[in-house]
Amino acid sequence: MIVADIAVGDLVIRKSHGGDILFKVTDIEVNESGQKQFTLKGMHLRLLADAPLEDLEKADAAHLKRIISEMERKYDASLRRVIERRGMEAEKREMHRSDASKKYTSFDVPGRVLHLDGDEDYLKMCLKTYSQLNIEAVGRWIDEEKQPNQLLTLLKEVRPDIVVVTGHDALIGGGKKNFRDINNYRTSKYFVKSVQVAREFQASRDDLVIFAGACQSYFEAILGAGANFASSPTRIFIHAYDPVFIAEKVAFTPISKTVDINDAITASVTGVEGVGGIETRGKFRLGMPKSPY
């Protein structure tokens, strides 16, 4: 469907917000006033938004280059921190191994991830990053409102150590918002329901670690439902990769230790204003000897 020169699939910015976020047009509808309303999803931020035609502008090449370069810079910095941390942790483990055990080559068994995502593009990006980080991950593209109904089957099938339930979210409605009213969030109620389903399957927060939420999600309600980590404490936008970097920290923290909350949050792209959580036991196990076959 094409309206003026903007169509579904186009990359746009909102003039009213100074073009700070790059969006993709996913749908065009006519509202009750007879005006065309565009549904938008963030290209790097897990945000859903609506906007009228007059507020939209196609992103030009220079704008695209600037935003993509900035997002890639943040992603690369997070990835670099993970690799550096892994290297130091491996050195410490090697130092503490007994002389007898050093005769054998060890192998890593990080936590396994089940990742449900309401955005197909983000899911592909996240699965690629899990692979780069040497984490076994099973991903499913499922709309946020359908996630609670499909999660239990997937939990039984995959038997993960860590489950990520994410997609898009946003605060809705104008004027002064009640941040404690779940109806003021686009999809937070579905994330809460998914966490409740997961906790009915496995009540222990150490046996099954849960990250849930997206941009501006109802942080307190999601944690209260039983999640270990959630977004968004200050209702800011979170990056597409934030759930991955939180999951990575859990997956590679030894089972004998609790995840350093500060390290986990700072390992994310957005940081402490975008994601938060509670003390959680890690999921990493060291094995030996490594088979030659």
pLDDT digits 0-9 by tens, 8-40: 888 898 888 777 788 889 888 887 777 888 889
pLDDT digits 0-9 by tens, 152-172: 999 999 999 999 999 999 998
Strands (E), the chain: 2-3, 6-7, 11-14, 23-30, 36-42, 48-52, 56-58, 107-109, 113-117, 137-141, 162-166, 209-212, 229-230, 276-277, 285-287
Question: Comparing 79 with 100, which gets the higher pLDDT?
Answer: 79
SS3 191: helix
pLDDT digits 0-9 by tens, 243-276: 999 999 999 999 999 998 888 887 778 888 889 9
For residue 1, is pLDDT > 60? no
For residue 98, is pLDDT > 70? no
Amino acid at 69: S
Average pLDDT on 168-180 reads: 80
What is the pTM assigned to this prediction?
A: 0.85
Determine the pLDDT at residue 193: 98
Q: Are 212 and 194 in contact (CB under 8 A)?
A: yes
Query: Is residue 174 very low, low, confident or very high in pLDDT (cuts 50, 70, 90)?
Result: low
CA dihedral sign, ordered 200, 238, 235, 246: positive
Determine the pLDDT at residue 202: 97
Tokens 């065309």, residue? 36
For residue 285, is pLDDT > 90? yes
Determine the pLDDT at residue 137: 97
Query: Is residue 136 very low, low, confident or very high in pLDDT (cuts 50, 70, 90)?
Result: very high
Distance CA 286, CA 185 (A): 41
For residue 68, is pLDDT > 70? yes
